[in-house]
Amino acid sequence: MRVLSDGQGLKFWCLMRQVSGSLTARDFTPRAFLAAARLLFFACMLLGGTRALPARAECVILLHGLGRSHASLWAMEMVLTFHGYRVVNEGYPSESGPLEGLVAHVGAMFARCGGDVTHFVTHSLGGLLVRAWLAENRPANLGRVVMLAPPNQGTEIVDFLLSFAFGRELIERLGGPVAKELGTNQKTTPRMLPPVDFDLGVIAGNVPLNPLGPILIDGPNDGTVSVESTKVPGMADHIVLPASHGLIMNNPLVLAETLHFLQTGRFDHTMTLEQALRLLLRRP
């Protein structure tokens, strides 16, 4: 039995906390416990020595959300690596400037993939960075894009915080200059980006762990972004899954649907948790 290195052990511990935290109370049925056990086995294979397939000639760039780091996408990185993709998962200083100043990080990451077919998987703010970059750049080797909980039409929570002095100070202190751009009015950055004209799949969550979500946001939401706000004209597919904004990237169904879209260009709208685990464990 292989012993994990210190670095692998830390990544395994963080990954298990992330995945277990992404399961909601409705998930804990006897079948879900079996599925969770399989997922633990899957993670053990990923980090405990089972070799992934040789990297295919496809690269995936992961872009985390506001105030997060590359570690928030470790589960996604492990899944995609296991299935043979070459993954670029690097952090960027999301709180250091306005969106316009952050976009350059997307180009630098894209260059890391060379001439290989290159996909994007993003969380929250990361999706807006990709939209802004692709509005000005259209590389011939662009593949597919999956956005998790993107505020494509902004969020009412930012509207609320910007409506009073302490809120404006708080949002910039916690999220930096870009956070103030994420409101819902027509002059905010998300609303001024053009419609998408690339192969895009969007995954929205509908489990609002943030208590402000149900109060400030109309309709189904993930606690930060409404389901409707994740949509954008031109997208190829859209799916709503039982996940919260901050943990959506670690939900097994989200991991499997992301993989499915990268492979086929569509989500499987009938996929169950058990089927998701089978897809995650099945080598291509």
Nearest-CA neighbor of 182 among 244, 137, 245, 247?
A: 245
Hey, what are 125's tokens?
């703010």
What is d(CA 80, CA 182) in angstroms, rounded to the nearest whole number? 29
Q: Is residue 65 part of a domain?
A: yes
Q: Which residues contact 243 (CB under 8 A, 6 or more apart)?
A: 22, 24, 149, 203, 205, 206, 207, 222, 251, 253, 254
The mean pLDDT of the chain is 85
Q: Is residue 119 part of a domain?
A: yes
Q: Is residue 12 part of a domain?
A: no
Q: What CATH code is carried by the domain that includes residue 70? A: 3.40.50.1820
What is d(CA 80, CA 192) in angstroms, rounded to the nearest whole number? 32
Q: Is residue 22 part of a domain?
A: no
Q: Determine the pLDDT at residue 2.
A: 39
pLDDT digits (tens, 9 = 90+) for 146-169: 999 999 999 999 988 888 888 888
Residue 204 pairs with which residues in a beta bridge? 240
Q: Determine the pLDDT at residue 17.
A: 52
Express as a percent the part of the chain with pLDDT over 90.
64
Express as a percent the part of the chain with pLDDT over 70.
80
Question: Is the CA virtual torsion 207, 212, 213, 214 positive or negative?
Answer: positive
Q: Is residue 126 part of a domain?
A: yes
CB 72 within 8 A of CB 249: yes
Estimate to the nearest angstrom the gap between the alpha carbon of 164 and the chain centroid. Answer: 30
Q: Determine the pLDDT at residue 164.
A: 85
Q: Is residue 120 part of a domain?
A: yes
Q: How many domains is the chain built from?
A: 1
What does the pLDDT average to over 106-132? 97
CB 161 within 8 A of CB 173: no
Hey, what are 168's tokens?
């404006």
Q: Where are the alpha helices (DSSP H) in 63-222?
A: 74-82, 99-102, 104-112, 125-136, 156-161, 165-175, 189-192, 212-216
The residue type of 85 is Y
CB 192 within 8 A of CB 135: no
Q: Which residues contact 204 (CB under 8 A, 6 or more apart)?
A: 149, 222, 225, 227, 230, 231, 238, 239, 240, 241
Least confident of 72-76, 140-144, 158-162, 219-223: 158-162
* Domain range for 177: 55-269
Q: Is residue 278 part of a domain?
A: no
Least confident of 17-21, 59-63, 172-176, 229-233: 17-21
Q: Determine the pLDDT at residue 51.
A: 53
CB 251 within 8 A of CB 73: no
Band (81; pLDDT cuts 50, 70, 90): very high
Residue 226 pairs with which residues in a beta bridge? 221
pTM, to two decimals: 0.84
Q: Is residue 50 part of a domain?
A: no
**Treating both helix axes as pointing N-terminal to C-terminal, what angle do 30-48 and 6-22 enclose, rounded to 10 degrees?**
160
Q: Determine the pLDDT at residue 168.
A: 85
The residue type of 9 is G
What is d(CA 23, CA 66) in angstroms, rounded to the nearest whole number? 22
What is d(CA 101, CA 114) in angstroms, rounded to the nearest whole number? 23
CB 161 within 8 A of CB 170: yes
206 or 1: whose pLDDT is higher? Answer: 206
